[in-house]
Amino acid sequence: MKRAIVLVLDSFGIGATSDAGRFGDEGADTLGAIARYRAAAGKPLQLPNLARLGLFHAHSESAGSVAAGVSLPVEVTGAFGYAEELSSGKDTPSGHWEIAGVPVLFEWGYFLDKENSFPQALLDELVAGAALPGYLGNCHASGTTILEKLGQQHIDSGKPIFYTSADSVFQIAAHEQHFGLERLYALCELARARLAPYNIGRVIARPFVGSLETGFERTGKRRDYAVEPPSPTVLNKLLDAGGEVVSVGKIADIYANSGISRKVKATGIDALFDATLAEVARAGDNSLVFTNFVDFDSSYGHRRDIAGYADALEAFDARLPELQAQLGGDDLLVLTADHGCDPSWPGSDHTREHIPVLASGAGLVPGSLGKRHSFADIGQSLAAYFGLPAMDFGQSFIATRNAFER
């Protein structure tokens, strides 16, 4: 039986790429910074299960030294490597599409101005098209900081909050009750359509609840409206061959529902892990269970919460044996990331980093896979594993299997 489980720890970079300087990210290292913080606090980072899969070995090959406070395990049970990104950006869709064998070789559009970030013509179209009383924000911002600043004004005025970041994104924050969740989604769909000429990768609905007194809190009802990948991903190829692709978390959103047979949503790392276990339990032959753990990025990386990121990693690590107990020797497990988001870095944006590639099962020999020149090596390996036609990008680290049985 062939089943692949791919877990993306969103934003879990393991050291700056050689082109990180172009992004202002030279020296960024998400895992390295977290380990350093914990070592300095006298509570070294404990990730025994990820370590056995080769995480710290991969990190030390990427960063040039062993993470602070960490001792490398003597026995490693997985194949481990680190990958640089071919795609032009360091955003979530680029990272995920490249993982699935389709790097983004074109330039996204960006809203570069920190203030008055959006073109007036676009703003006018949105105000008229959705009959809005106006808008707030229109700037670069951290999504939680802008709620502290404008949340009350939003409730009082009924004007949605528009903001962006270093990524190719247009984000809209609105209160679930005062503005209305469905109204927010409809506004995002309008924005998605109007943004086509600007080549923007994603519109993100950012619903929130609460009040000035209790504080504002973003909810799990976030929705991402991505454009479709520029060419068929390994997900599409698996579906075309009669296989199954199960999305857990925001995977389906990131691929604009292309190449997905079923989707399951859950909020929080534990709930996403539970949903992954449930999907693995029911997954049959020729299926891929593909999960994105967004909280590493949205709750800790962007929030520059090093302590929170460390705790979340440890909690995630502690659950890995539950998953491993469900896997047969022929199943393929891949743990990886889509970009970095070093919580010790200035600002609140992603960081251009290598991603870990931790692969086990499926006859893989434990040991180093070395430096991989594209995230697409994962997609190419999935194609080889399932016996699908080869992808245009990436080098497989897995021996090609028999052609897919139809």
Ligand X SMILES: O=P(O)(O)O[C@H]1O[C@H](CO)[C@@H](O)[C@H]1O
Mask 273-302, x = binds Mn ion (CB under 5 A)?
A: ------------------------x-----
Residues in the interface with ligand X (CB under 6 A) total 11
Cα dihedral 320/262/231/184 (nearest 10): -100
Interstrand relation of 3-9 and 367-372 (parallel, antiparallel or unpaired)? unpaired
Known binder of ligand: residue 113?
A: no
**Number of residues engaging Mn ion in binding (CB under 5 A):** 4
Applying CB under 5 A, among 253, 331, 338, 349 the residue interacting with Mn ion is 338
How far apart, in whole angstroms, are the C-alpha atoms of residue 122 and residue 258?
27
Per partner kind, with CB cut-offs from 5 to 8 A, the member of ligand X, Mn ion, none near residue 287 is none
- Build a one-symbol-per-residue string for 157-196: x at contacts with ligand X by CB under 6 A, - elsewhere: --------x-x-x-x-------------------------
Least distance (Å) between residue 111 CB and ligand X: 11
**Residue 342 binding target from ligand X, Mn ion, none, CB below 5 to 8 Å by type:** none
- Residue 124 known to bind ligand: no
Nearer to ligand X, 34 or 200 (CB): 200
Angle at the Cα of 161 from the Cα atoms of 265 and 163, rounded to 5 degrees: 80
332 φ/ψ angles, rounded to the nearest 5 degrees: -110, 125
Per-residue interface string for the shown chain with Mn ion, residues 187-226, x marking contact by CB under 5 A = ----------------------------------------
295 binds, among ligand X, Mn ion, none (CB under 5 to 8 A by kind): none
Neighbours of 217 (CB within 10 A): 11
244 vs 253, which CB is nearer to Mn ion?
253
User: Of these, 302, 304, 352, 372, which contacts ligand X (CB under 6 A)?
Assistant: 302
Q: Is 348 in the site for ligand X (CB under 6 A)?
A: yes
What is the DSSP-derived secondary structure letter of residue 300?
I
Angle at 51 between CA 332 and CA 61, to 5 degrees: 95
Instruction: Check if the beta carbon of residue 268 is closer than 8 Å to that of residue 250.
Output: no
Residue 351 interface partner, choices ligand X, Mn ion, none, CB cut-off 5-8 Å depending on type: none
> From Mn ion, ligand X, none, which one binds at residue 30 (CB under 5 to 8 Å depending on kind)?
none
Residue 377 is labelled as binding a ligand? no
Cα separation of 239 and 297, whole Å?
29
Distance of CA 387 to the CA centre of its chain: 26
* Interacting positions 260-299 with ligand X (CB under 6 A): 297-298
10 in contact with Mn ion (CB under 5 A): yes
Q: Which own/partner pairs from 209-217 qualify as long-range (CB within 8 Å, at least 24 positions apart)?
A: 209/175, 209/176, 209/177, 210/151, 211/152, 211/155, 212/151, 212/152, 216/147, 216/148, 216/151
Identify residue 125 by its one-letter amino acid code: E
Question: Is 305 a known ligand-binding residue?
Answer: no
Closest CB to Mn ion among residues 8, 364: 8
Residue numbers 85-104 binding ligand X by CB under 6 A: 92
Which CB sits closer to ligand X, 142 or 324?
Answer: 142
- Annotated binding-site residue? 57: no
The partner residues of 205 in beta bridges, in order of sequence, read 172, 223
**Nearest-5° angle of CA 84, CA 333, CA 7?**
65
Closest CA to 313 of 335, 287, 329: 335
Establish whether 302 is an annotated binding residue.
Answer: yes
Q: What is the DSSP string of 47-107?
A: -HHHHHTTHHHHHHHHHSSPPTT----S---SEEEEE---SS--SHHHHHHHHTT----SP
CB 138 within 8 A of CB 113: no
Which of 8, 323 has the CB closer to Mn ion?
8
Question: Under the criterion CB under 6 A, does residue 143 sit at the interface with ligand X?
Answer: yes
Partner whose footprint covers residue 338, from Mn ion, ligand X, none (CB < 5 to 8 Å by kind): Mn ion
Residue 169 contact among ligand X, Mn ion, none, beta carbon within 5 to 8 Å by kind: ligand X
* Shortest distance (Å) from residue 204 CB to ligand X: 6
Known binding-site residue numbers: 10, 297, 302, 338-339, 350
What residue ranges bind Mn ion (CB under 5 A)? 10, 92, 297, 338
Known binding-site residue numbers for Mn(2+): 10, 297, 302, 338-339, 350
What residue ranges bind ligand X (CB under 6 A)? 92, 142-143, 165, 167, 169, 171, 297-298, 302, 348
